[in-house]
Structure 1
Amino acid sequence: MTFNRYRRGLFITSFLAAPVILYLVYVISPNVQAFYIAMTDWRGVSATPAFIGLENFERLLGDNVFWKAVSHNAALLVLLPVITIVIALFFAFLLNVGGRQGVSGIRGSTFYRVVFFFPQVLAVTIVAVLFQQVLRPDASGMLNGPLMALGINPIGFLSDSGLAFWSVLGVLVWQAVGFYVVLFSAGLASIPKEMFEAAQIDGAGRVSMFFRVTLPLLWDTVQVAWVYLGILAMDVFAIVWVMTVQQGGPDWSTTVMAAEIYRNAFGYFRFGYASALGVVMFLFTVGFAILSLRLSRRERIEY
């Protein structure tokens, strides 16, 4: 009996060894190296960078651009999940339970799901270039062109420091909401129709049905969506770098930590300082995920 258990353990270990080794080499090892590089003055060329301890982190505290990037990431951590989840829940509820009978989707819901999901098939850089043209502050812009034709001054969606951040947020929501409409629709499809019918018989309206039936039963899915969107809010480098002017907006109004990591590493060749930024970004992301999972924990509803 013991021998068979030993053979089974050896068999399982032999299969797990290769992926575990690859994970350690290509995931864990680079992260550990990043923590070490963050405490050096490495500029990407010297073989033996000088160890400077926590100087890079002390320098971060006095870097105004860094604090602007942190504030933008923090705002995205709150606004992007909230806005995207609210819109996605609304459309998913409408597509699945918004029909005339109150327990079925509206006509053509399958087509609408495809339309909502369409932005997901576009590469992030394509989305950035597309909206860069849509938001152009001249007559060739899809929004400003009609305004100028009516004699209205063009709006600097990306050139105005007061609007640039909100323009980026709008693009991020537009790109993300379709995926979560489909995700929430899949969750709604797994809820028995009898539960909606019972709520309807009890006199529940659409709003009451949403908050008393739909949202509690979708809470686990919403929790996962919140964490994924929080991680997305920390990783908006491509949109900011490609779409906004000066790769960070006027007066650094759209810059984020990922953009500053790239700028310092490959623009200023301050790899040690960029690694310190990366460590801070890593701690932000992990902290957000842990905090979100703990705060949104609740009793699972069985049905």
Structure 2
Amino acid sequence: MLLCLAVLLPPGLTPRRVRYDRRYRTLDKYRFIVGFLALPLAFYVLFVISPFLQAIYYSFTDWSGGPVANFVGFDNYRKMWNDERFWDSLEVSVLLLVVAPLLTLVLGMFFAYMITAGGRHRRGQAIAGVVGSSFYKVVYFFPQVLSVAIIAVVWGRVFNTNSGLINGGLDKAGVDGPAWLGGDQTLGLLSLLIVISWSFIGFYVVLFSAAMGAIPKDIYEAALLDGAGRARTFFSVTLPLIWDTVRTGWIYMGIQALDTFAICLVMVPSHVLKVTPVFLYERFRDGQYGYATSIGVVLLVLSMAFSVIVMRAGNRDRIEY
């Protein structure tokens, strides 16, 4: 074997020299990668990892904003464990964590499928979206360009009990509208859920439309030839092929729902409904910085646990096409 290799190699190039050159090229490649990523990683550690570590440290102190932060161990976490207001806010946040991604992703996939492959057959096109699909993409994505504060203010006026758009329409129909944001926690949670889904659904319509558009048309045409309808095509073809995108969107939407702050703070009165980020903000406002950072650490752990659960539960064999 070595004799054959020696015959094939150029003069002066031995098998040992070949192994050495390959090792050198590999080392040189890794040096280039490390040198290229060193500065971005340094900025990431400085501006992302370092604040997380500082927050974890301050969660074990009685820091109140001054130069002194005394170490108090798990006192903040014990205080949190016995705080009923924290558990009430966490209950609302967990409900949003479960329901908001489900509602938003289901609607986003439905609209994306109709835009991409849910239209009637056209001449020369076996698979096509509904008429005006490009216009619908713009309309659905429009809330993404609006400020969260503007969204909260506008929808707060819409849900206003006396002069809101919804109750105004119900009054004209002879129906007394409910007090959406007047004191009932269930109606307040429903209102918040509607606004969250409305504000994020456009992003997932565009995301899922891009994923569905990457699926070869031949696969859809083969499903049509086999007699599959729209529902069967979606569940048997489209959903398995975009599952990685759905799982990623599920994690992202769950974190967004858990981190609902501005919409709840501006739109929903604090006596009606309070999510954990708003409860955290109030502790900062009261100067309880150590206690507030401990709440932030719990939200961080909850977000990571949610991501791991979704990754594990949604783990499937990757389908290549």
Q: Same fold (TM over 0.5)?
A: yes
Name structure 2 gaps, 5 residues minimum.
1-20
The answer to whether structure 1 residue 204 and structure 2 residue 228 are counterparts is yes
Q: Are positions 1:66 and 2:89 aligned together?
A: no
Matches within 5 A, 1:57-136: 57-101=77-121, 103-136=127-160
Which of 261, 272, 283 is the matching residue for 2:290?
272
151-160 or 216-225, larger mean C-alpha shift = 151-160
Amino acid at match of 2:62: D
Give me the whole-angstrom Cα distance separating, in 1, the residues matched to 2:220 and 2:230: 10
- Show the counterpart of 1:43: 64
Structure 1 window deviating more from structure 2 (276-285 vs 95-104): it is: 95-104
Give me the whole-angstrom Cα distance separating, in 1, the residues matched to 2:212 and 2:30.
40
CA offsets per residue over residues 144-200 of structure 1, 9 Å max, x none? 122234443332111122200110000000111111111111111111111111111
1:238 and 2:256 aligned: no
Look up the equivalent residue of 1:217 and give its one-letter code: L
Would you say 1:295 and 2:286 are equivalent positions? no
In the alignment, the residues of structure 2 paired with residue 161 and residue 257 of structure 1 have an alpha-carbon distance, to the nearest angstrom, of 15
Count of aligned residue pairs for this structure pair: 295
Distance in 2 (alpha carbons) for counterparts of 1:185 and 1:195 = 16
Change in Cα spacing, 1:192 to 1:260, as seen in structure 2 (3 Å) is same
Picking from 248, 269, 276, the partner of 1:257 is 276
State the Cα distance separating 1:294 from its structure 2 match: 1.1
Mapped partners of 1:162, 1:19: distance in 2: 46
Equivalent position SS for 1:245? coil
Amino acid at match of 2:231: V
How far apart, in 1, do the equivalents of 2:41 and 2:155 lie? 41
Instruction: Name which of structure 1's ranges 17-26 and 35-44 shifts more when overlaid on structure 2.
Output: 17-26
Question: Quick one: which amino acid aligns to residue 226 of structure 2?
Answer: D
In the alignment, the residues of structure 2 paired with residue 130 and residue 148 of structure 1 have an alpha-carbon distance, to the nearest angstrom, of: 20
Distance 2:112 2:34 in 1: 43
Q: Percent identity?
A: 42
- SS of match in other structure, 1:143: helix
SS of residue in 2 equivalent to 1:154:
coil
Distance 1:4 1:217 in 2: 38
Q: For residue 70 of structure 1, report the CA deviation from its aligned partner.
A: 1.3
CA distance in 2 between counterparts of 1:8 and 1:265 reads 48
Alpha-carbon separation, structure 2, partners of 1:82 and 1:9: 42
Which residue, out of 181, 194, 207, partners 1:183? 207
Equivalent position amino acid for 1:38 in 2: S
Q: For residue 192 of structure 2, what is the aligned residue in structure 1?
A: 168
Distance 1:134 1:32, change over 3 A: same
Q: Does 1:284 align with 2:302?
A: yes
1:240-281 residue CA offsets vs partner (Å, 9 max, x unmatched): 1111113xx42xxx3112111111012x11001001101100
> 51, 69, 73: which is aligned to 1:30?
51
Partner in structure 2 of residue 18 of structure 1: 39
RMSD of equivalent CA atoms: 1.7
Q: Determine the C-alpha separation between the residues in 2 that align with 1:212 and 1:151.
A: 46
Query: Shift of residue 50 of structure 1?
Result: 1.6
TM-score normalised by length of structure 1 = 0.92
- Aligned partner of residue 257 in structure 2, secondary structure: helix
1:142 counterpart = 2:174:
no
Alpha-carbon distance in 1 for matches of 2:169, 2:56? 51
Distance 1:270 1:84 in 2: 35
Q: How does the TM-score come out when normalised to structure 2?
A: 0.87
Q: Indicate how the Cα distance of structure 1 residues 109 and 3 shifts in structure 2: closer, same or farther if over 3 A, else same.
A: closer
Amino acid aligned to 1:293: M
